[in-house]
Chain A
């Protein structure tokens, strides 16, 4: 290739040896630091997740028996929960005030041991309401074990007793319902929930070690290639980064300086903008269209900040090649620099708009947990995704100027397909797939989990988001690379 020949001719091994050594050190130390940091930040969520074997509530269509003294409701069942934590039962009250004590008991029928129990006042039960029985510590070893849930009341009177609800149609292997000793078809309306161990989490350090081995092998291969005089992509990329760092810095600084050059508030717009957008949308969606999201202000602002970045980065990258036509036809530099600097300038803005986000979090009393740091991971995934998409768009823009108009429509659709200002639960079931295939939704959702819920998503999600971002970057970079020599002919 012409340009590579030019750049590297005359370079000797000595030039890249220290570079490579620095790269190797950086990779290994960075990797180890990141994995250890992640281990601590992810905390419990690295090892445990909500069980996939949770029993869902059935729709109630009938009461069982009136739970006066002497009546017993017994439900046997099995679950695929590794650590059982909670059982809840749904009640009918016959729409009247009730009295008396009700007892819930859970037995392991293999050994007839009482696992947990709870007694409570029937007066507190509401129609269709739940009582929750919680284990003091998660109970292990009940995976697929035969369990018995027994409900009775020692002292309730007929006429003022409650009744657990049931579904008369349901049938399941290992489940049987007995009312006052008589087997009855149907299943009680109850739920069982708990947590499962995550295989990845249990083997975390093995994974870390495997990753390290891959990195070392990779470095060894790069080193070997470099020694034998061949050019690998890695060496080229490292040299390019070294060589064009100053230029990239200058171009990003230029974008940033000129953006607000002649405005009075200048850089303040970077954090006023998301704040004002949030205020308007907050007003609209908390008074006109009501919703029941907790801490809606932060929920909304996270969405606004991330989507603003997305649309700004992609919009700017879109015109990056065309807008720099004057340079491209006159000076040689690697063309990926143009979309890259545009995305990086937007990244600076993203960084600045994190300040108002932080302030609003403080003002609304968000309790920051250590997982907040992990939110940055998902933002980085978003940046990588935008870079890939930006390269794709800028390429397309050179050959078809219609791209910018199509993109205008597409980004609007994208905005509505992402739960920025609405809760994801308002989407009907048959449109859920829109969210599942929307990469932005994944980045956004997990950022919110990290900041608002204060917990880390499960480990697989990190892998998933990284892969989405990487795939977009690869597609974008390949299309860009394939076409970049033709750009100058179409400008």
Chain B
């Protein structure tokens, strides 16, 4: 496999400006400013992070809560713009950060497949073609014509997962979504994920389960307090992290 770089994260720094309180109204802004209490605390979520992901690789991101993993994924998927540095992605990115964002609860499952699909950037033709496959995978059957406000949380999650994984993206960004639905569906979804990863897709994977990381990733980036603590082969980094 040609070692083409798919994601290039170079020297990314993400700094948030935190007010002591988020000031959201003009009055508050003026009064606090007049009292001279307008203080900003800079919070650095990521500091000079650089790494690359090659084509077909599955890269794991590990670290404790607040280490900057989710921020990193958001920067890569374009939701956040880094304060410094840059990210280059070569290929279409499908972020599975939180499944089902953009569902409208008044619409039916069918309508939501098209809405959510469009939000994820799928084309019309693609959705028409894959519609049956999505419905089948989600195991919703006749419920697909029911407004999703009547769905159980398991049904919602299944629908969302089915929509998100129907594509063969070039870059897939996954934030702990493997625990969806009942045991049988979990098994099925894991199989689907492995299938996706096997198909030459470049995957960026965040999980707190070291077991999953060891099983699925080639390389691992360990983040701590916004800095890269260690990069290397999955087993190696996991061993150190585990201690």
Contacts and interface: CB of A to CB of B under 8 A. Distances in A.
Interface string B105-136: 01100010011001111011000000000000
A402 B26 contact: yes
B77 interface: yes
A485 B81 contact: yes
Interface string A244-280: 0011011100100110011000000000000000000
Contacts of A2: 78, 81-82, 86-87
A402 B115 CA distance: 31
Contacts of A249: 118
Interface residues of A, number: 33
A10 to B, nearest CB: 6
The main secondary structure of chain A at its interface with chain B is helix
A401 B23 CA distance: 9
A399 B91 CA distance: 34
Interface in A1-55: 2-3, 5-6, 9-10
B225 to A, nearest CB: 20
A266 to B, nearest CB: 13
A247 B27 contact: no
A181 interface: no
Interface size class of B (residues with CB under 8 A): 35 or more
Interface in A311-367: 326-333
Contact of A402 (B25, B77, B80, B104): B25
A430 B174 CA distance: 65
Contact of A254 (B17, B78, B115): B115
Given A10-B90, A246-B123, A400-B25, A328 B79 contact: yes
A243 B124 CA distance: 11
B88 A6 contact: yes
A317 to B, nearest CB: 18
Nearest to B97: A330
A257 B16 contact: no
Given A250-B114, A331-B119, A488-B79, A401 B124 contact: no
B126 to A, nearest CB: 10
Contacts of B63: none
Contacts of A399: 24
Contacts of B98: 330
11 contacts: A2-B87, A5-B86, A6-B89, A10-B90, A258-B106, A330-B102, A331-B102, A332-B93, A332-B95, A400-B25, A489-B16
Interface of A: 2-3, 5-6, 9-10, 243, 246-247, 249-251, 254, 257-258, 261-262, 326-333, 399-402, 485, 488-490
